[in-house]
């Protein structure tokens, strides 16, 4: 019989829940971790990891197709989806086994089953009550739809898209945010005709407007169609395909409609409201240390309002474990969380957009450094840019408060970018740092040199 009491009982074994469990165990606390599905949650099994594996397969397809541009005689014979899926599942399986091993090594008690928070300090699973001196709610999120838009058949979510064993000929993607543009990118690389429909005025609307424009330009070159500022009005389907209606009166025919309109919190049916947890629009309300309104009850990850990112949940889980252990961790600055969209080209950012910076600081200075001036980007044959946003007018000293990147592989540059933002660096602080040549990372150095008033190359 497993222990039914612990220092911490965690409901949900996704990024936030398992990170909290691992850190708490490291700090000598006893942990019960409750998960109804597989440890690792959406990120490992239905999100970050499998989708990025697909995106890498898509990059291989593009590389094979474009070999002539590099003097290499290659051609793309086709896409074997069973092979792609086997590669993807292999990556997930290895990471899953590694996670299970870590959890076991830390002697964390794992309870398999559907848990209900029964408050004030307990979670019930199949009639057994698990009581914690502290309880962490980490039940994650699900792919949501629009009111009146029924999922099923040829109307699919990202979860269903990952299970496809064929490449559709034509797809309509409803939603031009992160999930929508990533799947559009994959399917286009695999040879499908893709149209994105986004109700807001631009693709990746949460990003700086400059990045949206650059991505839209790149998607046009790739032959990915998109319609922005237009709303979905309905869909019909039959055995041969779907017919998607827009409020503009236009009709789009395709094999599939991917609904990528965001993710909703998994907070209904798990006892939160009944136990008195403060909620708003389905999300659990917390303070900056992830504490709910109930004593010794915390919430982390996608059920908390804000960016729905695995690494955010992960860090929140660590913060909660350290808070419970009495370490007094620093609250997380949400604006300092790096954001990456893994389409081709990639989009990455940290800090404030130009518009948000103007709202906060009044005057700002921006600088755009074109990747055309970067040797490694020329080698990779990618176009794109680094955009910096500095607080204060030109000639005034001020920190860099936004770093915005677009181009192949720029997600790998976000590590230095988030240090620049989170350490409140000025351009003058970054300019003397030596960036290896030739790397794309150099573009960050060049951009800061230019912002500091001493551009080395005239491509800013």
Annotated binding site: 52, 115, 139-141, 175-182, 198, 262, 302
User: Do residue 71 and residue 210 come from a single domain?
Assistant: no
The answer as to whether 167 is a domain residue is yes
| Domain-terminating residue out of 261, 281, 310 | 261
The answer as to whether 40 is a domain residue is yes
The runs of H, that is alpha helices, within 145-281 are: 158-162, 178-189, 209-222
> How many beta carbons lie within 10 A of that of residue 121, not counting itself?
19
CA pair distance 43, 162, nearest whole angstrom: 13
Annotated binding site for FAD: 52, 115, 139-141, 302
**Residue 98 Cα to chain centre, angstroms:** 22
Annotated binding site for NAD(+): 175-182, 198, 262
Return the pLDDT at 116.
Answer: 97
User: Do residue 242 and residue 270 come from a single domain?
Assistant: no
The answer as to whether 332 is a domain residue is no
The domain of 286 spans 5-141+264-325
The answer as to whether 340 is a domain residue is no
User: Do residue 134 and residue 269 come from a single domain?
Assistant: yes
The answer as to whether 331 is a domain residue is no
Which residues have a catalytic role annotated? 437
CA pair distance 200, 247, nearest whole angstrom: 13
User: Do residue 218 and residue 132 come from a single domain?
Assistant: no
User: Do residue 17 and residue 105 come from a single domain?
Assistant: yes
Count of the separate structural domains present in the chain: 3
- Identify the CATH number of the domain in which residue 433 sits: 3.30.390.30
User: Do residue 236 and residue 273 come from a single domain?
Assistant: no
The answer as to whether 211 is a domain residue is yes
User: Do residue 88 and residue 131 come from a single domain?
Assistant: yes
User: Do residue 282 and residue 245 come from a single domain?
Assistant: no
The answer as to whether 336 is a domain residue is no
Smallest CA-to-CA distance from 261 within 200, 218, 220 is with: 200
- Identify the CATH number of the domain in which residue 113 sits: 3.50.50.60
CA pair distance 390, 425, nearest whole angstrom: 10
User: Do residue 442 and residue 398 come from a single domain?
Assistant: yes
User: Do residue 237 and residue 286 come from a single domain?
Assistant: no
Return the pLDDT at 15.
Answer: 96
Q: Tokens at residue 290, please?
A: 């992830």
What is the full DSSP assignment across 56-99? HHHHHHHHHHTGGGGT---------HHHHHHHHHHHHHHHHHHH
* pLDDT tens-place values along the chain, 460 residues long: 456 899 999 999 999 999 999 999 999 999 999 999 999 999 999 999 999 999 999 999 999 999 999 999 999 999 999 999 999 999 999 999 999 999 999 999 999 999 999 989 999 999 999 999 999 999 999 999 999 899 999 999 999 999 999 999 999 999 999 999 999 999 999 999 999 999 999 999 999 999 999 999 999 999 999 999 999 999 999 999 999 999 999 999 999 999 999 999 999 999 999 999 999 999 999 999 999 999 999 999 999 999 999 999 999 999 999 999 999 999 999 999 999 999 999 999 999 999 999 999 999 999 999 999 999 999 999 999 999 999 999 889 999 999 999 999 999 999 999 999 999 999 999 999 999 999 999 999 999 999 999 988 754 4
Return the pLDDT at 458.
Answer: 55
The answer as to whether 333 is a domain residue is no
Return the pLDDT at 460.
Answer: 42
Q: What is this structure's pTM? A: 0.95
User: Do residue 168 and residue 232 come from a single domain?
Assistant: yes
281: left (phi over 0), alpha (psi -120 to 50) or beta: left
User: Do residue 12 and residue 132 come from a single domain?
Assistant: yes
At residue 339, the 3 state secondary structure works out as: strand
CA pair distance 96, 45, nearest whole angstrom: 8
CA pair distance 426, 96, nearest whole angstrom: 41
């Amino acid at each position: 019989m497993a222990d039914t009491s612990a220092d911490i009982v965690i409901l949900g074994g996704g990024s936030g829940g398992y990170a909290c469990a691992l850190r708490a165990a490291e700090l000598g606390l006893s942990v019960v971790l409750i998960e109804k599905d597989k440890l690792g949650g959406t990120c490992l099994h239905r999100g970050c990891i499998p989708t990025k594996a697909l995106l890498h397969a898509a990059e291989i397809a593009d590389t094979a197709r474009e070999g002539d541009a590099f003097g290499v005689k290659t051609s793309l014979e086709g896409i074997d989806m069973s092979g792609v899926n086997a590669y993807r599942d292999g990556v997930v399986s290895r990471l899953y086994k590694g996670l299970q091993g870590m959890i076991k090594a830390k002697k964390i008690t794992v309870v398999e089953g559907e848990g209900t928070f029964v408050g004030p300090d307990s979670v019930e699973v199949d009639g057994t009550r698990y009581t914690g001196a502290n309880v962490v709610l980490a039940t994650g999120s699900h792919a949501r739809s629009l009111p009146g838009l029924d999922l099923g058949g040829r109307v699919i979510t990202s979860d269903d898209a990952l299970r496809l064993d064929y490449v559709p000929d034509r797809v309509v993607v409803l939603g031009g945010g992160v999930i929508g543009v990533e799947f559009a990118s994959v399917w286009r690389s695999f040879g499908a005709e893709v149209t994105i429909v986004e109700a807001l005025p631009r693709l990746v609307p949460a990003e700086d407007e400059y990045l949206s424009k650059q991505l839209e330009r790149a998607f046009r070159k790739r032959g990915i169609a998109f319609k922005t500022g237009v709303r979905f009005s309905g869909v019909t389907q039959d055995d041969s395909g779907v017919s998607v209606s827009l409020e503009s009166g236009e009709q789009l025919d395709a094999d599939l409609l991917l609904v990528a309109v965001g993710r909703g919190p998994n907070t209904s049916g798990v006892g939160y409201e009944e136990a008195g947890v403060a909620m708003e629009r389905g999300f659990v309300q917390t303070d900056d240390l992830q504490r709910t309104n109930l004593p010794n009850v915390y919430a982390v990850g996608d059920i908390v309002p804000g960016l729905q990112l695995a690494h955010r949940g992960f860090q929140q889980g660590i913060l909660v474990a350290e808070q419970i252990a009495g370490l007094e961790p620093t609250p997380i600055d949400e604006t300092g969380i790096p954001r990456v969209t893994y389409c081709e080209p990639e989009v990455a950012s940290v800090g404030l957009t130009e518009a948000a910076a103007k709202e906060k600081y009044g005057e700002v200075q921006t600088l755009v450094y074109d990747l055309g001036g970067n040797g490694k980007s020329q080698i990779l044959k990618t176009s794109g840019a680094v955009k910096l946003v500095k607080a204060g007018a030109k000639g005034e000293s001020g920190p860099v408060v936004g770093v915005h990147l677009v181009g192949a592989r720029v997600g790998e540059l976000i590590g230095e970018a988030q240090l620049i933002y989170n350490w409140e660096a000025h351009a003058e602080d970054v300019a003397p740092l030596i960036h290896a040549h030739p790397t794309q990372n150099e573009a960050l150095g060049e951009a800061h040199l230019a912002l500091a008033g001493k551009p080395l190359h005239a491509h800013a």
